Amino acid sequence: MAITLNGTTGITTPDIDSTAGFDGEDLTGDVAAARITGALNATGSAPIYACRAWVNFNGTGTVAIRASGNVSSITDNGTGDYTVNFSTAMPDANYATTLVGTAPVNVQHVMPAICDAIISGGALTYTTTQLRVVFFNPTASSSKSDPQVVCLSVFR
């Protein structure tokens, strides 16, 4: 079962094993998108958008990534203030994020804010290569607070 390159008609491949999700059909045109939709059990005509980056890291003590996708590092800018650095840049800065932080043991709630403009009136750091996130303790005069676990997803 060899792959054959023919100068006039293109590439000929053997059937791909059906356990990989393909049954020997040609993978041309929009077939790949249909396969992905089916694999995700998505219904309806609304488009599906991929998560472009995600990270789970500890926000207390020495900040460290537990697991991630397309995140190269986390910068600890101080209490409750982190910069998430992307391994591969986003196509633009018009992405959407989800952000969750679990409160430290002695704090009832933490409130995330996705920019440094809230703290210092500084420039928004929502770029193609990084994203700055800040967590506040709303029960303590909006002081910043280190969450135990931070989970961030980026969609575009």
Mean pLDDT of 92-109: 73
pLDDT at 5: 55
DSSP string, 40-82: TT--SSS----EEEEEEEE-SSS-EEEEEESEEEEEEEETTEE
**Has residue 88 been placed in a domain?**
yes
pLDDT over 70 percentage in the chain: 60
Q: Give the CATH number for residue 141.
A: 2.60.40
32 lies in the same domain as 83 = no
The parent domain of residue 87 ranges over: 51-155
pLDDT at 28: 52
Instruction: List Cβ neighbours of 8 (8 Å cut-off, separation of 6 or more).
Output: none
pLDDT confidence bin for 120, thresholds 50/70/90: very low
95 lies in the same domain as 151 = yes
**Has residue 75 been placed in a domain?**
yes
72 lies in the same domain as 146 = yes
Please say if the pLDDT value at position 132 is more than 70: yes
33 lies in the same domain as 68 = no
102 lies in the same domain as 32 = no
19 lies in the same domain as 79 = no
**Has residue 45 been placed in a domain?**
no
pLDDT at 65: 98
Please say if the pLDDT value at position 108 is more than 60: no
Whether the CB-CB separation of 132 and 89 falls below 8 Å is answered with: no
78 lies in the same domain as 130 = yes
89 lies in the same domain as 143 = yes
> Whole-number mean pLDDT of the chain?
74
15 lies in the same domain as 84 = no
23 lies in the same domain as 83 = no
**3-state SS assignment for residue 131:** strand
pLDDT confidence bin for 67, thresholds 50/70/90: very high
**Has residue 14 been placed in a domain?**
yes
**Has residue 44 been placed in a domain?**
no
Mean pLDDT of 93-103: 82
| Residue of 4 and 155 predicted with greater confidence | 155
pTM for the whole structure: 0.68
Token match 């910043």: residue?
Answer: 144
19 lies in the same domain as 71 = no
Q: Name which of 30-44, 66-80, 91-105 the model is least confident about.
A: 30-44
61 lies in the same domain as 112 = yes
Predicted confidence (pLDDT) per residue in 26-36, tens digit: 555 456 667 77
| 116 bridge partner residues | none
Alpha-carbon distance values, 33 to 36, 56, 136 (Å): 5, 28, 41
Number of folded domains in the chain? 2
